[in-house]
A and B are shown apart, each in its own frame.
Chain A
Amino acid sequence: MAEPLLEARGVVKRFGHVQALQGADFAAYAGEVVALIGDNGAGKSTLVGVLSGVLAPDGGEILLDGAPVRFGGPQDARRAGVETVYQDLSLAQDLDAPANLYLGRELLRKGVLGRLGVLDRPAMRRDAVRAFAELGVTLKDPTAPVAALSGGQRQSVAVARAVAFANRVVFLDEPTAALGVVQRARVLETVRRVADRGIGVVLISHNMPEVLSVADRVEVLRLGRRVASLRAADTSIEELVGAMTGSLDRADGSAAAPEPSLQASGRQPELEPEQQPEPDEVPEQQPSDEEVR
Chain B
Amino acid sequence: MTTTETRPRPHAQTLVARTPPLLRRAAGIGELWTFLILAALVVFFTIAAPGKFFTAYDLTQIAVNAAIYLVLGVGMTYVVITAGIDLSIGSVLVLAAVAAGEWNIHHGGAAAGWGTVAICVAIALAVGAAWGALQGAVVATEKVPPLIVTLGGLGAALGIAELATGGQDPAEAAANNLQNTLGFGKLLGIPWLVILAAGVTLVFGLVLGLTRFGTHTFAIGSNPAASRRAGIRVGAHLVKVYALMGLLAGLGAVMWLASYGTTSIAGHSTDNLKVITAVVLGGTSLFGGRGSVLGTVIGVFIPAVLNTGLIVIGVQQYWQDVAVGVVLVAAVYIDQMRRRTRERS
Contacts and interface: CB of A to CB of B under 8 A. Distances in A.
Contacts of B13: 129, 132-133, 138-139
A148 B17 CA distance: 15
A78 interface: yes
A263 to B, nearest CB: 20
Contacts of A141: 16-17, 21, 24
A90 B224 CA distance: 9
A142 B8 CA distance: 17
B17 A91 contact: no
B210 A119 contact: yes
Given A94-B289, A138-B12, A31 B222 contact: no
Contacts, number: 119
Question: Chain B contact residues (Cβ within 8 angstroms of A): what range?
Answer: 35 or more
A130 B17 CA distance: 11
Contacts of B10: 129-130, 133
Contacts of B210: 118-119
Nearest to A158: B226
A94 B14 CA distance: 22
Contact of A142 (B4, B9, B17, B229): B17
A66 interface: no
Nearest to A136: B9
A31 B229 contact: no
B222 A93 contact: yes
Report the 7 A-B pairs with minimum CB-CB distance, sorted nearest first.
A104-B230, A94-B289, A92-B222, A104-B231, A90-B226, A117-B211, A75-B231
27 contacts: A74-B229, A74-B231, A78-B231, A86-B226, A86-B229, A88-B225, A93-B222, A93-B223, A94-B218, A94-B222, A95-B219, A99-B218, A104-B230, A117-B207, A119-B211, A129-B13, A130-B10, A132-B13, A133-B10, A134-B8, A141-B16, A141-B17, A147-B343, A193-B5, A198-B4, A291-B228, A292-B228
Interface of A: 31, 54, 73-75, 78, 84, 86, 88, 90-95, 99, 103-106, 108, 116-119, 125-126, 129-130, 132-134, 138-143, 147-148, 150, 193, 196-198, 288, 291-293
